[in-house]
Amino acid sequence: MPGTVVVWNHVTSFFRRARTRVAATPAALRERVVRNTTDAPAAGTEPTDAPRPRRNRVRLIGAATAVVVLATGGVAVADAHKTVTLDVDGVTTTVSTFSGSVDGLLAEQELDLGARDTVSPSGALQDGVDVVVRHARQVTIQADGAEETVWTTALTADEALEMLAARGDDVRLVASRSADGGRPDLSLDLTLDGPAAVQVDGGTLTVPDGSTTVAEALDALGVELTALDRVSVQHSGDRVTVVVNRVVVQDVTTTHEVPFNALEQQDASMYVGESEVTTAGVPGVRTVVERVTTVDGVETARQPLSDGVTQAPVDQVTNVGTKKKPVVQQAPAAGATGAGTPAVGGGDAAGLNWAALAACESGGNPAAVSSTGKYHGLYQFSVGTWQAVGGTGLPSQASADEQTARAQMLYNRSGAGQWPHCGPRLFG
């Protein structure tokens, strides 16, 4: 290692230079040197070739020891230097460091970890180790139809979905919509390995190679989003699938019929048993406005906005007669003198002069209708009276025979008083 070489050469060359200088020093200089030591001979004493005193040997031993210590320090420096691989959110670099711990390495690289971030391994730093750092990020998921925000250290949608699989089978990552053109942002890549697809408008499209984000995938396939469309990512078989749900919200107006009330009022100008509708009933209108949400054509929500009667109903009014019917006495039989008058009602209606009655009431026209529109047919039935003797529809629409038969029924029930003006003609 460079540190080892530098330290060792410095000490070695210094030691060699020291030895060279001592060997080349003249005797007088060597003498001064010796005398400058604490073990120098007394004045007047000449140097001899006797062995060096013990203290000088100790000094030499100390110098040699210093050389060994410096050399050992070089080895320690070499041991402290490490080369490691640092992986930060999938971005890998090779780092040379003298740090003894993972925390020290992260501090050197100015990497701050949050409470949810992860780093592996931890503790002492070993040479050649792979240090993996993952920053946690928030993602929105949909599980069983409910949305919530969770934290994940996954780098891809595929990895995040695998981590979240324990929450249930139908777990989706919900892409947010950015303010920049509404582009969908997942904050995670779609997948690093394996195929991806886009499910939209009833079909499935394969994501082109090189598209790593949701926005890139949709752009590459020409999929345009409206402001309300929803984008999510889920597992579909063995691949990651981007699901685009088309959302439509519109106000829908519907109308409903409001029934009218039927009222009756007494009418003294009409005989008992007669009735007439004087005001026709008209149903009202109730208008309801609702905001309807559909997802891919299926209704998912309906919110009422307004509900009220926009057209009031018109009550139907029917006049019911209260006037008592007059009692009509039968005329005496032809040629009879002093004959009494027959009782009203009863008797053989078939033997009476119905043609005369019809001629008096309607001019003998079965389809005749009075100028007021209240009375119909040969015998000018009111609708209520006609119905009272079993008739249906309008009397003027029935055959002449049916009209006569029902007139006879009315006579048998109530007598000739039903025709106060023309009734006596039955007996003529």
Q: How far apart are CA 282 and CA 166, in angstroms?
A: 63
Q: How far apart are CA 232 and CA 14, in angstroms?
A: 73
| Residue-level pLDDT at 349 | 85
Query: 314 near 279, Cβ under 8 Å?
Result: yes
Q: Write out pLDDT tens, residues 240-282.
A: 999 999 999 999 999 999 999 999 999 998 888 889 999 999 9
Are residue 185 and residue 89 in the same domain, yes or no? no
Other CB atoms within 10 A of residue 351 CB: 9
Are residue 405 and residue 392 in the same domain, yes or no? yes
* Backbone φ/ψ region at 20: left (φ over 0), alpha (ψ -120 to 50), beta: alpha
Task: Among 276, 296, 322, identify where a domain stops.
Answer: 322
The angle formed by the CA atoms of residues 94, 99 and 105, to the nearest 5 degrees, is 55
Are residue 185 and residue 99 in the same domain, yes or no? no
| Residue-level pLDDT at 308 | 96
Write out the two tokens for 296.
């891919």
Are residue 145 and residue 237 in the same domain, yes or no? yes
Q: How far apart are CA 175 and CA 377, in angstroms?
A: 79
CATH number at residue 104: 3.10.20
What are 251's strand-pairing partners?
291
Q: Which contacts of 390-396 are long-range, i.e. CB under 8 A and separated by 24 or more positions?
A: 396/366, 396/367, 396/368, 396/369
Structural domain count of the chain: 5
| Residue-level pLDDT at 397 | 93
| Residue-level pLDDT at 239 | 85
How many Å separate Cα 91 from the centre of its chain?
36
Are residue 236 and residue 155 in the same domain, yes or no? yes
Domain that holds residue 259: 248-322
CATH number at residue 402: 1.10.530.10
How many Å separate Cα 245 from the centre of its chain?
9
Q: How far apart are CA 205 and CA 239, in angstroms?
A: 12
Are residue 310 and residue 349 in the same domain, yes or no? no
Are residue 9 and residue 58 in the same domain, yes or no? yes
| Residue-level pLDDT at 143 | 83
- The whole-model pTM stands at 0.51
Task: Among 222, 245, 268, identify where a domain stops.
Answer: 245
Are residue 216 and residue 174 in the same domain, yes or no? yes
Q: How far apart are CA 402 and CA 354, in angstroms?
A: 13
Are residue 104 and residue 185 in the same domain, yes or no? no
Query: 411 near 425, Cβ under 8 Å?
Result: no
Are residue 241 and residue 283 in the same domain, yes or no? no
| Residue-level pLDDT at 327 | 52
Write out the two tokens for 50.
């006797």
Low-confidence spans in the chain with pLDDT less than 70: 1-79, 179-181, 326-347
Furthest-apart CA pair in the chain: how many Å? 211
Other CB atoms within 10 A of residue 75 CB: 14
Are residue 15 and residue 59 in the same domain, yes or no? yes
| Residue-level pLDDT at 204 | 92
Q: Look at residues 136, 227, 144 and name the one whose alpha carbon lies nearest to residue 187.
A: 136
First to last CA, the chain: 151
State whether the Cα torsion 115-121-122-125 is positive or negative. Answer: negative
Are residue 169 and residue 98 in the same domain, yes or no? no
